Amino acid sequence: MRADAQRNRDRIVEVARAVFRQKGYDAPLDEIAREAGVGPGTLYRHFPTKDALIDAVMQAWVDSVETATDKALAHEGSARDLLLNWFETYVGVISAHKGGPAKLTTAIGVQDSPIRSKCAVLVSANERVLAQLAEQGALKPDVDAVQVARLVGGVATVADQSELAPDVVRPMLEVVADGVLA
């Protein structure tokens, strides 16, 4: 790839991340192109659809999911505390950008989603946490990671779109936690 093309690509992703953080995934692409100093055609040369750009912006974010999971797994306290702490972490992670919870949660289990790989990361993060709890026999049988990702993702989606305060979200997560714990 030519040096100027590489630079343009990098700038687009960088600007997109900032704009998405501020305005969510609804932000117009024109604005991103303008702030990155390129024409809309250039943006589309690098990212054939808006979802492709969103996917690129999410790329770096994958690492943050892994480290957040590690931290949650090291949490001391009861199984319930660990799980609740994980749920709050999970909601925080997928809510980094407005519109993120819906986009990510809805794509779980969908075969041809452009952000399929990001969903896999989320599901496997939940798998790790659930596996640890299952080991202690703290979990109900039949709960699986996809299900939990959808449940907590559903809560995050509602919270994101209704702009709910954390102290309203928290008790909802407690309900889900109590529902999956033995």
Partner DNA sequence: ACCTGAACACCGTTCAAGT
Q: Which residue from 40, 39, 33, 41 is spatially nearest to 13, judged by alpha carbons?
A: 33
Burial zone of 64 (CB within 10 Å; 0-12 exposed, 13-18 middle, 19+ buried): exposed
Q: Which position among 14, 18, 24, 45 is part of the footprint of DNA (CB under 7 A)?
A: 45
Q: Which of 110, 117, 120, 131 binds a copy of itself (CB under 8 A)?
A: 110
Is residue 106 at the binding interface for a copy of itself, with CB under 8 A as the rule?
A: yes
Task: Output phi, psi for 139, to 5 deg.
Answer: -100, 150
Does 78 contact a copy of itself by CB under 8 A?
no
Q: Which helix (H) or strand (E) holds 162?
A: helix 145-162
Closest CB 147 distance from a copy of itself, rounded Å: 6
- What are the C-alpha distances in Å from 106 to residues 46, 55, 95, 102, 111? 25, 15, 14, 6, 11
The number of residues making up the chain comes to: 182
Q: Point out which span in 15-23, 35-43, 76-84, 149-157 binds a copy of itself (CB under 8 A).
A: 149-157
Regarding 177 and contact with a copy of itself (CB under 8 A), the answer is yes
Q: Do 84 and 171 touch, CB atoms closer than 8 A?
A: no
Q: Count other C-beta atoms under 10 Å from residue 48's C-beta.
A: 11
Residue 161: name its binding partner from DNA, a copy of itself, none (Cβ under 5 to 8 Å by kind): a copy of itself
The CA-atom distances, in angstroms, between 170 and each of 56, 84, 86, 97 are 31, 8, 12, 19
Over the range 27-42, which residues count as b (16 or more CB within 10 Å of their CB) and which as e?
bebeebbeebebeeeb
Site track 115-144 with a copy of itself (rule: CB under 8 A), x = hit: -------------------------x-xx-
39 binds, among a copy of itself, DNA, none (CB under 5 to 8 A by kind): DNA
Among residues 40, 92, 109, 166, the one that binds DNA under rule CB under 7 A: 40
Residue 157, interface with a copy of itself (CB under 8 A)?
yes
Binding stretches for DNA (CB under 7 A)? 1-2, 4-5, 8, 26-30, 37-42, 44-46, 48-50
Binding stretches for a copy of itself (CB under 8 A)? 102, 105-110, 140, 142-143, 147, 150-151, 153-155, 157-158, 161-162, 164, 168, 171-172, 174-180
